[in-house]
Amino acid sequence: MMCYTSGTTGRPKGVLYSHRSLCLHTLGTLISDVTGITERDTVLAVVPMFHANAWGMPFSAAVSGARQVMPGPHLDAASLVELFEGERVTMAAGVPTIWLGILQYLDANPTRHDLTPLRRMLVGGAAVPEPLIRAFQDRHGLHIQQGWGMTEMSPVGSVSKVTSDLADASSDVQFAYRAKAGLPLPFVEIRARRDDGTLAAWDGDSMGELEVRGPWVARAYYDAPESADRFTDDGWFRTGDIVTLDARGCITIQDRAKDLVKSGGEWISSVALEGALLAHPDVAEAVVIALPHPKWDERPVAVIVPRAGRAPTLESVRAHLAPSFAKWWLPDEVIIVASIPRSGTGKYLKNVLREEFRDRLTVFAASGSPASDQSATSPG
């Protein structure tokens, strides 16, 4: 079987899977602390099968004997929720943008549907913000489990589940943990490599590019010799994800390497800012992109879809973020849009936004706009 990468940061590349790797990946995902799918489950993957085999869920469901429901062409929130309810789905999977729409629908219709059979929602494909996890749990009693993986990994590499040593921890600690990418699956090795070639410490603070190795991790792209440097001779794959690893082996995705904001020689995580922005009362959807700046190389800009009837401003956004982030992390501008472009797999296309708005900050700087005054946001 062969699938292609999403192509959100470059040309899609083919990944060829062996029968052995698919079988091993299926067995790895069936572990209780991963998906835990059993014969009693009804599974619905709101993920295209061309996108990393729908995260392997069709195979996991078939091996366990679970009932499978296919979403069909109607992927709007109302249709999906009606399908969950009508088919008594117990486990569903999809990218965060799908679940954002479902959350907005459930908030507007809090008593219309009975989703009590839905025991777990596996969300991945992009970092899952803590406010989204909290909102589903607190307002609707629905449990999000974050997973991380890549097409090159067949695709599941790690999942986040509150482990026994955190069972008595506060809800804040547990929610923060669930917003991480979690622990690697059995047989998946991980490490993080810094720009200088050294390995990052497992201290929860040192950032580096995540490298993975394992029996269902690809060893090469199909007919793409220009990308051979992503794979090492001893089997490690360079993921392009910038992460921190803590002493327990828990992965926290800080950003894609191409999405990090490199401002004044320092790194700013767009993922961290996006997660915090979703807790802003005026914000329905948000992405943070790096735009060229004449002085600082790059600066963060927030592209926001507002909630109905709301109008977030640069001042309100910066005030919302200020308690949690250094001043130089705060966005230089807020751009209000009606919608954010997405790929065929539902991921936000930051490369399209970067191209559309690439001159935004340089124009501000040339005009003497206050947005070009970096005295309060200098990384130094």
Give every strand in the sheet of 156-159, ordered side by side. Answer: 67-69, 42-45, 91-94, 120-123, 144-149, 156-159, 183-184
Gap between the Cα atoms of 322 and 267, Å rounded: 17
Type of residue at 271: V
Q: What is the DSSP letter of 319?
A: H
The answer to whether the Cα torsion of 324, 330, 335, 340 is positive or negative is negative
Please, are residues 98 and 71 in contact by the beta-carbon 8 Å criterion? no
Q: Which residues are catalytic?
A: 5, 152, 262, 267
CA atoms within 13 A on the CB side of 160: 29
Structure tokens at 340: 């954010």
Please, are residues 169 and 193 in contact by the beta-carbon 8 Å criterion? no
In sequence order, the 6+-apart residues with CB closer than 8 A to the CB of 143 are: 119, 120, 121, 136, 137
